[in-house]
């Protein structure tokens, strides 16, 4: 990973993409997610927190201002630190809901990720100072429909993809889909393949998830990182994952070694997508797919 700058959330950049539905954009800053604030007549839902307490406190203050007395809810798209490691700030202010597999990820993998991210450099370590792993208020099995008053938001676990506990957040009346890190724009797909500590990412599963999401035909897709867009955000990531899978498996099945496979696939994909960031994620993607079977 390249040297990281301070992952500061900028709530001043929030923009409304549908009535009573705002996105605080990540502005292409590493380890800053796109954050959603979704309102109904009775309640407001925040989607993801930013990394650390100071970022989350800004998001909470912004959400309070938007809510104007309405009840607050929080959900996170998955357990990774920039998405969920600010949730403790919302305790007592908002009801924090997550799906069962994500709650398990927080409990079992959260401590290791906290330690790993603190080692990514001083700006990130500073952001994580004082962070405690959050305990959700509500853990649900299957999907959850959240009534905000005149607007129902659908919290939909997807099954194994980027993590074991991914979920998407659908706002059907607005045609908006928050994907977390199942989709990004302007960069190579993030593969958290860290054997032996974490091997839950699945390129095969991820592709199946994206096929299902594409079929829902969202009007606006808000990715985990990068600019929001139309459904092409999903198809672009799906097409890249197909490229990665096909080029990796073609070489693996010809008995080419992992190192040579990785070098060839990386060179090919960088040539095809020279403008994309995150080239460091190609190698773990190849390693993950080398370990999976078609």
Residue 149: give its domain's CATH number.
3.60.15.10
Contacts of 270 (CB under 8 A, 6+ apart): 279, 282
Does residue 206 form part of some domain?
yes
Indicate the pLDDT class of residue 3, thresholds 50, 70 and 90.
Answer: low
Statement: residue 238 has pLDDT above 50: yes
Say if residue 196 is preceded by a cis peptide, omega within 30 of 0: yes
The mean per-residue pLDDT over the stretch 183-207 comes to 96
Does residue 2 form part of some domain?
no
Does residue 285 form part of some domain?
yes
Statement: residue 220 has pLDDT above 60: yes
Does residue 6 form part of some domain?
no
Does residue 3 form part of some domain?
no
Report the percentage of the chain scoring pLDDT > 70.
Answer: 99
Contacts of 139 (CB under 8 A, 6+ apart): 97, 98, 99, 100, 103
Does the predicted model carry a pTM greater than 0.85? yes
The mean per-residue pLDDT over the stretch 14-32 comes to 96
Does residue 95 form part of some domain?
yes
Query: From its phi and psi, is residue 137 left (phi > 0), alpha (psi between -120 and 50) or beta?
Result: alpha
Which domain covers residue 148, as residue numbers? 11-291
Using alpha carbons, list the distances in angstroms from residue 45 to 60, 73, 196.
11, 5, 36
Does residue 190 form part of some domain?
yes
Does residue 4 form part of some domain?
no
pLDDT at 294: 62
Statement: residue 205 has pLDDT above 50: yes
- Asked if 34 contacts 228 with a C-beta cutoff of 8 angstroms, the reply is yes
Indicate the pLDDT class of residue 256, thresholds 50, 70 and 90.
Answer: confident
The mean per-residue pLDDT over the stretch 49-77 comes to 98
pLDDT at 92: 96
267 vs 262: CA distance, rounded Å? 8
State how many domains the chain has.
1
């Amino acid at each position: 990973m390249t040297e990281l700058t301070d992952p500061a959330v900028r709530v001043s950049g929030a923009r409304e993409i549908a009535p009573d539905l705002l996105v605080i954009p990540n502005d292409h800053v590493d380890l800053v997610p796109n954050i959603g604030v979704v309102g109904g007549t009775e309640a407001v839902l925040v989607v993801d927190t930013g990394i650390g307490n100071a970022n989350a406190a800004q998001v909470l203050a912004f959400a309070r201002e938007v809510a104007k007395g309405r009840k607050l809810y929080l959900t996170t798209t998955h357990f990774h630190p920039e998405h969920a490691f600010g949730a403790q700030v919302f305790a007592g202010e908002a009801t924090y809901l997550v799906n069962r597999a994500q709650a398990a990820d927080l409990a079992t993998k959260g401590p290791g990720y906290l330690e790993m991210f603190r080692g990514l450099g001083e700006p990130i370590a500073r952001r994580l100072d004082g962070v405690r792993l959050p305990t959700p208020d509500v853990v649900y099995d299957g999907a959850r429909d959240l009534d905000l008053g005149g607007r129902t938001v659908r919290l939909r676990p997807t099954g194994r993809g980027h993590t074991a506990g991914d979920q998407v957040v659908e706002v059907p009346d607005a045609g908006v889909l928050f994907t977390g890190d199942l989709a990004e724009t302007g960069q190579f797909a993030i593969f958290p393949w860290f054997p032996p500590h974490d091997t839950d990412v699945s390129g095969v599963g991820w592709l199946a998830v994206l096929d299902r999401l594409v079929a829902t035909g969202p009007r606006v897709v808000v990715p985990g990182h990068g600019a929001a867009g139309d459904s092409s955000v999903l198809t672009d990531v799906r097409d890249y994952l197909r490229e990665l899978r096909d080029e990796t498996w073609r070489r693996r099945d010809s008995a080419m070694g992992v190192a040579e496979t990785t070098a060839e696939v990386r060179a090919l994909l960088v040539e095809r997508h020279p403008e994309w960031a995150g080239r460091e994620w190609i190698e773990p993607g190849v390693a993950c797919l080398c370990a999976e079977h078609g």
